[in-house]
Amino acid sequence: MLVSFPSCRRVSHNLFDEMPAIAAVSDRDHFGDLTDDLLSHVLSFLPSDDALQTCVLDTRWRDLWRRTTSLHFNVDDCELFRRLVKLIIQLRGKSPLVKCDIITCPDDYAVFGKWQYMNTKLLIEFALMCQVKELTLSTVDFHAIDPPVFDVPFISHHLKTINLHRVKLKCPALNFSGCPILEELKMQNCNICARKISSKSLKHLCISDSCVIPVDFRIRIFAPDLISLLVADFCGATPFLEDMPFLVTASVGLDDSCYDLCSSAQRGCGFDCCCNNYPTEGGVLLNGLSNAVNLELILTADPVNFIYRWDLEWCPIFSKLKTLLLNEWFTAIDLACILQHSPILEMLTLQLGNTKSLTRATAAQETIDQSFVCAHLKVVNIESDEVHEEIHKIVNILRTCGILRDHISIKARSSPSCCFSFQKDPRSLLPPPAALRPAASTTDDGN
């Protein structure tokens, strides 16, 4: 069956009808009539080994390849990868790079049973020397191959974005002061062996997709200019968040891989668990998140996870919070505490699961302070698998907090509680750049 697309034919005809007629009958390069900018754009999409082969066409292609602003490495043959890295470093020169994507390939030998990545590290050094702005480093998830280990932070005055997938970061502190204009750091399925992550310029931070972090101490995150944060699906102790005065959107998800569990739910229980390294004052997460405008707090782990509830005992003030999403980890007093300390909250979404988990939210017999009214809260969405008696108890709690029944809607849950609207991309609720407050200067170097 033939399908006609007349509009496509017209576009194609208009694109090429200005080419000289001789191009159709001669043996010369048919790309010769295209501009350098257009050819460079085409080259930017090619894998590095394919792009390199265009150099044999003529000197023009060779010059274009040397000036291309993107490099993409995806070679699964150790020897071919080594030769490709060597050729590119020798032939390309130091022409500036915008983007470099590397799917790592180990060297063709192992030292003491561990794979080495010397060629990958040479390639990264070359990209940094070419003033790359966006660096993406991924490792193929072969369980028999160790991921590359980096024990020295990157240093570049041009790097703005770092994306890491399945790499090991092993150093006392991930101090990015050597990258003074770094704005985005994404770590997915990484092994992070550091006591601190610090950057004065960072705007967006993501730690997700089964990252492994320390258990016997908490990583401290110092990023005073951060405006979006995603911390979810990690294995280890919950990171400690320092003050983030310009934070706009944050999503935190704690699941069964989070080690902050205590069956006794008492500080200093005497057992070997993470409650022993809970701070003596100030909490772990919520104080650092208290300036957020849009906030999501998820707990899909066992109820004995104590982070949210213990943090709430310090009564953090969410003075800028306008949009809040929670699932069924809270009790009545927890919910009342959050509402009482969120003076300009406008929208609340509660995604509630089965009756067993929901019972925790309504069973507590604490007395709720009725001396406050949620004056700005006009939209409350309760999403549940089914409407039953426990849902009505939640509604009564909200009405006790001064929320009108007309402002509360109950509907079927549209997605699992682990996949809220902005968890996958915390920047989706960011205002336009012009609406963001200018970054404050700080004298702390975060070391």
Shared domain check, 81 and 133: yes
3-state secondary structure of 39: helix
Answer whether residue 6 shows pLDDT above 80: no
Tell whether 437 is covered by a domain. no
Tokens 């799917």 appear where?
103
Mean pLDDT computed over 339-367: 74
Shared domain check, 186 and 49: yes
Shared domain check, 291 and 150: no
Tell whether 40 is covered by a domain. yes
Answer whether residue 72 shows pLDDT above 80: yes
Query: Shortest CA distance to 244 belongs to which of 175, 318, 159?
Result: 318
Query: What total number of domains does the chain contain?
Result: 2
Shared domain check, 274 and 410: yes
Shared domain check, 195 and 113: yes
Shared domain check, 396 and 311: yes
Tell whether 5 is covered by a domain. no
Mean pLDDT computed over 407-428: 63
Per-residue pLDDT band at 269 (split at 50, 70, 90): low
When the pLDDT of each residue in the chain is averaged and rounded to a whole number, the result is: 81
Last residue of a domain, one of 175, 202, 229: 202
3-state secondary structure of 208: strand
> What is the pLDDT, as a whole number, of residue 249?
98
Tell whether 9 is covered by a domain. no
**Residue 128, domain extent:** 34-202
Shared domain check, 284 and 347: yes
pLDDT, tens digit, 9 for 90 and up, residues 231-257: 999 999 999 999 999 999 999 999 989
Secondary structure of 57-112 as H, E, C letters: CCHHHHHHHHHCCEEEEECCCHHHHHHHHHHHHHHCCCCCCCEEEEEECCCCCEEC
Mean pLDDT computed over 93-106: 90
Mean pLDDT computed over 295-304: 84
Shared domain check, 124 and 269: no
Q: Given strand 149-150, what is the order of strands in its sheet? A: 149-150, 168-170, 191-193, 211-212, 234-235
430 or 6, which is more confident?
430
pLDDT, tens digit, 9 for 90 and up, residues 373-386: 788 999 999 998 77
Query: Shortest CA distance to 307 belongs to which of 267, 343, 269?
Result: 267
143 or 216, which is more confident?
216
Structure-token pair, residue 379: 């939209």
Q: How far is CA 73 from CA 33, 82, 98, in A?
A: 29, 11, 15
Answer whether residue 27 shows pLDDT above 90: no
- pTM for the whole thing? 0.82
331 or 220, which is more confident?
220
> What is the pLDDT, as a whole number, of residue 196?
97
Answer whether residue 261 shows pLDDT above 80: yes
Beta bridge partners of 191: 168, 212
Shared domain check, 156 and 109: yes
d(CA 295, CA 422): 9
Shared domain check, 193 and 275: no
Q: How far is CA 46 from CA 65, 85, 100, 102, 335, in A?
A: 11, 16, 12, 13, 52
Q: Rounded to 10 degrees, what is the CA torsion of 79, 84, 85, 86?
A: 90
Tell whether 21 is covered by a domain. no
Shared domain check, 250 and 192: no
Shared domain check, 294 and 175: no
DSSP per-residue string spanning 305-348: B-HHHHHHTT----TT--EEEEETT--HHHHHHHHHT-TT--EE
Tokens 């070359």 appear where?
126
